[in-house]
Amino acid sequence: MAAQDLIFGVVADDLTGGVEIASLLVAGGVPTEFRIGVQHGEPEFDAAAAVVALKSRVAPVAEAKESAAEAANWLRRRNPRQTFFKYCATFDSTPEGNIGCCTDLMKEIVGAERVIFCPSFPEKERTVYNGHLFVGRDLVSESPKRHDPLTPMTEPDLVKVLQPQTRHGIGVLPWKAVSSGAKAMARIVEELVDSGRPYIIADAICDADLEALAEFTADWPLVTGNSTIAACFPAIWRRRGLLDGHPAPKRLGPLRGPGAVLAGSCAEQTISQLEEFRKAGRPVLRIDLREALSGEDPAAQALAWTENHMGEGEFAIATSAEVSAVNELQERMGRRAAADLAESVLARIAVGLVERGLGRLVVAGGETSGAVVNALGISRLAVGPQKRGSIPIAQGDLGRPFGLCLKSGKLGPDDIFADRLQAMEKGEI
């Protein structure tokens, strides 16, 4: 079984996005291998799909290209019938890259003649119409996303966003064709490819559009987009018998051991979730990173604080701060150094907690999750199924099974921390 060809090989441009697509495939009944970062060994595992999660979204172009090519080539060794490049629903990228340049490389690696770009996420009101990206009723350039600290989206026309990132011509597959069916789509796509525009931005405003696009592109060697279109593929594979002979994904078993939350996200939603956790009677330590500037070691202090709490129930430790405190630290240290400080403090706390027997961990923050998982030396996870409105749980191997839930800052209901720690303890199907 280990040498069997893959149905689906996914390169994801960040960790939480990678977990998201893996969990949707698992929810669709697809046994899915999940790896973190560039892989070096043989791709030997027993699965129908594999996801490699990178940290390439805002990396320098050369670095992003190198890691995307390495990940795609590693997956090629299992001959996937389709390669998928997963990025964010709001098409987060920098002016130079990295969606276009990474797609260019993958197009060459898999020998694709045409590539679809489908970021749309109708449930979260991220839709594409006439090639323009909307958040709710607003163009993305008029939504809060225009102020994103790393990838401000000031241009709503995705053709204009993508063109500087690639050497290929770009066209739009309009909603009229998407909603009219495969024949109408095929006619437009042929015209676009014939006129030198093999990169095709797909309009999609509702789930039915995603299903139609998934059906239309199910045999394309390379598809790119958010995880929403990928979630439509398992039903197609099942209908075609491609999943026959593959076992159902393994269930995540229950995990004992102390549970904790580490939060580095400064998103309002994470701050409300910490507040909810505290109101429910669980200890929350808020670290003021400004103290690190006067020679204190916040990680050592936090670990000392946990002596009273490990084994007494769940607790949270957060560097999360309000905008004014974040701004002050950034002005004093610089933006990147402030983020590095927060990430290294939380990563060291994670390592210390694991040494002290921690069994279950929720991490709040996308970048923070990457830093914590790296520090723990985890490069492979068993991912549980996505449930609507929640965040999937996962298990890593630290010589013993270790429960993880990696939450991007803005996501999840207020009680997500306690809920996910409990899900890890009970084990989830």
Of 109 and 329, nearer to ligand ADP (C-beta) is: 329
User: Least separation, in Å, of the C-beta of 383 and ligand ADP?
Assistant: 18
HSE toward the beta carbon, residue 142, CA cutoff 13 A = 6
Of 110 and 329, nearer to ligand ADP (C-beta) is: 329
User: Least separation, in Å, of the C-beta of 47 and ligand ADP?
Assistant: 28
Residues that bind ligand ADP (CB under 6 A): 264-267, 289, 319-321, 325-326, 329-330, 338-339, 342-343, 365-368, 408-409
Cα angle 6, 29, 181; round to 5: 80
User: Least separation, in Å, of the C-beta of 264 and ligand ADP?
Assistant: 4
Of 181 and 334, nearer to ligand ADP (C-beta) is: 334
Of 105 and 262, nearer to ligand ADP (C-beta) is: 262
CA distance 374 to 353: 15
How many separate helices (H) and strands (E) can be counted in the chain?
A: 15, 18
User: Least separation, in Å, of the C-beta of 423 and ligand ADP?
Assistant: 20
Of 58 and 206, nearer to ligand ADP (C-beta) is: 58
Of 344 and 422, nearer to ligand ADP (C-beta) is: 344
DSSP at 157: B
**Burial status of residue 282 (CB atoms within 10 A of its CB: 0-12, 13-18, 19 or more):** buried
HSE toward the beta carbon, residue 290, CA cutoff 13 A = 11
Q: Is residue 58 within 8 Å of residue 153, measured between CB atoms? A: no
Of 253 and 413, nearer to ligand ADP (C-beta) is: 413
Q: Is residue 88 within 8 Å of residue 119, measured between CB atoms? A: yes
Of 97 and 409, nearer to ligand ADP (C-beta) is: 409
Of 292, 415, 409, 402, the residue nearest 353 (C-alpha): 402
User: Least separation, in Å, of the C-beta of 40 and ligand ADP?
Assistant: 26
Q: Where are the alpha helices (DSSP H) in 4-48?
A: 15-27
User: Least separation, in Å, of the C-beta of 389 and ligand ADP?
Assistant: 18
- As beta bridge partners, residue 118 has 225
User: Least separation, in Å, of the C-beta of 8 and ligand ADP?
Assistant: 26
Q: 392 by DSSP, 3-state: which?
A: coil
Q: 72 by DSSP, 3-state: which?
A: helix
CA distance 320 to 49: 35
Residue-level length of the chain: 429
User: Least separation, in Å, of the C-beta of 339 and ligand ADP?
Assistant: 3
